[in-house]
Amino acid sequence: MVNSLLPQNQTALEAAIANATESTVSPDGIAKLWDAENCPAGLLPWLAWALSVDDWDETWDEATQRRVIAASIDIHRKKGTVGAVLKALTSLGHEGRLVEWWQTEPQGTPHTFHAEVDISNRGIDATAIAAIRRQIDAAKPVRSHYDLELIARSNLNVHTAISCLYGQIIEIHPYQITELTSPDVAVHSAISVHMTESITIYPLE
């Protein structure tokens, strides 16, 4: 099979350019290029552009980049909804909660909401806060305004131990009489007489 479409009278320069730009990707591998989990790391920025990722940062770690790309299509389908905003936050590795104006008591200003983002065990800086805001801004309804609350929780392991020492002392003493009693005694008397007599009889002479 001929891989080049250049004519037989191609110049040396044309042949060199064709060889340098020849694709080594097999048709079977093209599907992987569109998969956020299997796409080569070096091509992730291009995949993000192709899937219309709204916000991209080259400084993100590879796992975050893949999550953001994987979530892009679903976010675009739901854009302008609570689900889209929460999906965008999850793609950055944050859990979030939105409280809309009609869910408060008393009700707040129409078309406003309160965004709570959990940053526990991750830490936060100005760059991370800006990334969170960009994700929310890209996914929320354009008319809506919000205030952002960052929540950090610390986990504490409490180790509890209980010790119980139980003992018993037993003293054994020789048996001692502690009470003397004189019971009534019944006396029975009896008399017995036994007499024996021996008689010898001889013949008359």
Within a domain: residue 113? yes
What confidence score (pLDDT) does residue 25 get? 62
Tally of domains within the chain: 1
What confidence score (pLDDT) does residue 24 get? 65
Residues 6+ apart with CB under 8 A from 108: 101, 102, 114
What confidence score (pLDDT) does residue 23 get? 67
Mean pLDDT per 10-residue section of the chain, whose length is 205 residues: 76 89 72 91 95 94 96 96 96 94 94 93 85 96 96 83 87 77 74 78 73
Within a domain: residue 188? no
Within a domain: residue 130? yes
- pTM of this prediction exceeds 0.85: no
What ranges make up the beta strands (E) of the chain? 95-100, 112-118, 145-151
Within a domain: residue 63? yes
**Could you list the residue range(s) of the whole structural domain that residue 119 is in?**
32-151
What confidence score (pLDDT) does residue 180 get? 65
Within a domain: residue 185? no
Within a domain: residue 65? yes
Residues 6+ apart with CB under 8 A from 55: 68, 131, 134, 135, 138
Within a domain: residue 192? no
Within a domain: residue 180? no
What confidence score (pLDDT) does residue 2 get? 58
What confidence score (pLDDT) does residue 1 get? 46
Residues 6+ apart with CB under 8 A from 100: 82, 112, 113
CA–CA gap between residue 148 and residue 15 (Å, rounded): 58
